[in-house]
Amino acid sequence: MDGAENGPGQHHEHAGGIVGQVDALQVPRYAGFSTFARLPRIEDVADHAVAVVGVPFDSGVTYRPGARFGPGCIREGSRLLRPYNPALDVAPFRTVQVVDAGDIAANPFDIEQALAAVRTGVRRLAHGGRPVVALGGDHTIALPMLRAMADLHGPVALVHFDAHLDTWDTYFGAPYTHGTPFRRAAEEGLLVKDRSAHVGIRGSLYDPADLDDDARFGFTIVHADALEHAGVAEVVERIARRVGDAPVYVSIDIDVLDPAHAPGTGTPEAGGLTSRELLGILRGMRDLDVVGADVVEVAPAYDHAEITAVAAANVVYELVSIFAAGKR
């Protein structure tokens, strides 16, 4: 491959020296390095305002494996993203320096070592309060993300989009799995008490006590079927009332979407949100103080025609757009 097609001149440079996407009029969208939205790599710029980083880790899954391949899949699904977001009236890649920071090498055989590596890597990228969006990976990675955010911002409010509560205690005696991160986060004091919400919860549970435990840890639940009756605007209002003026961390398990919209995931549940509903809720959160986010549980082996990859990539795009809009 001719190295010139990936050279600095193939990116757009904007006011303030911001380096944007590879120019799609010079290099076709299907060519070149597969960074998120064809943005510059972190080593290609002097500094950054927002970082997208992969965490290819799925040693915490309890059913289908494969989310370790999620970051690459999301990057491929992002090739069609364009520089201007009309829904939020912002050109995120021209407004602030957004970079792809590559992947954090998380130990696949030692979960606690992996969590420590993610916390350290994210804290470095987020130094000075710079937002980070993590591409998972399974939902276990939300715990070290929250640890890193608390290191920088203190306890945060959590808005958690998922089919599942993820506040269970252990699985086969293991305290760190993709079903336990938010129980551990509450126990560790990483969350502002009574300022967190689950959105999109549905499906079967182990026991009614699961809901009691969840409430005890300070969560409220917006069930998936609330979208049918309340609609996007009311759900956004409920989220805003819940989090108040606290710094907000957004954690998005792609299985919050119905399997029709995201089949490529490890624990699919019928009756989920549409991609339009999820994007609408995120856009409605643009005035909240969002400090970091993750998009997790994309497992490409179960995907079809990049349905899940495209959905996840667009979710990340909305999050980056929110960060950029807040810095105008």
Whether the predicted pLDDT of 9 surpasses 70: no
Q: Convert the pLDDT of each residue in 260-271 to its tens digit.
A: 999 999 999 999
Q: Could you tell me the CA-to-CA distances from 248 to 69, 87, 121, 310 in Å, in that order? A: 27, 21, 20, 25
- Name the more confident of 13 and 78: 78
Q: Convert the pLDDT of each residue in 46-76 to its tens digit.
A: 999 999 999 999 999 999 999 999 999 999 9
pLDDT for res 44: 95
Number of domains in the chain: 1
Q: Convert the pLDDT of each residue in 129-140 to its tens digit.
A: 999 999 999 999
- Asked if 164 and 267 count as a contact pair (C-beta separation under 8 A), the reply is yes
HEC-encoded secondary structure of the chain: CCHHHHCHHHEEEEHHHEEEEECCCCCCCCCCCCCHHHCCEHHHCCCCCEEEEEECCCCCCCCCCCHHHHHHHHHHHCCCCCCCECCCCECHHHHCCEEEEEECCCCCCCHHHHHHHHHHHHHHHCCCCCCEEEEECCHHHHHHHHHHHHHHHCCEEEEEECCCCCCCCCECCECCCCCCHHHHHHHCCCECCCCEEEEEECCCCCCCHHHHHHHHCCEEEEECCHHHHCHHHHHHHHHHHHHCCCCEEEEEEHHHECCCCCCCECCCCCCCECHHHHHHHHHHCCCCCEEEEEEECECHHHCCCCHHHHHHHHHHHHHHHHHHHCCC
Query: What's the pLDDT band for 328 if we cut at 50, 70, 90?
Result: low
Whether the predicted pLDDT of 42 surpasses 90: yes
Q: What is the mean pLDDT of residues 107-130?
A: 97
CATH number at residue 183: 3.40.800.10
Q: What is the mean pLDDT of residues 119-129?
A: 97
Query: How much of the chain exceeds pLDDT 70, in percent?
Result: 97
Q: Please tell me the least confidently modeled range out of 139-148, 222-231, 264-273.
A: 222-231
Instruction: Quote the tokens at residue 218.
Output: 């300070």
- 224: amino acid identity, one letter: A
* Residues 126, 292: Cα–Cα separation, whole Å: 9
- Closest Cα partner for 99 from 54, 152, 53? 53
> Residue 316's domain spans which residues?
3-325
Q: Convert the pLDDT of each residue in 237-288 to its tens digit.
A: 999 999 999 999 999 999 999 999 999 999 999 999 999 999 999 999 999 9
Whether the predicted pLDDT of 22 surpasses 70: yes
Whether the predicted pLDDT of 5 surpasses 50: no
pLDDT for res 6: 41
* Residues 65, 222: Cα–Cα separation, whole Å: 27
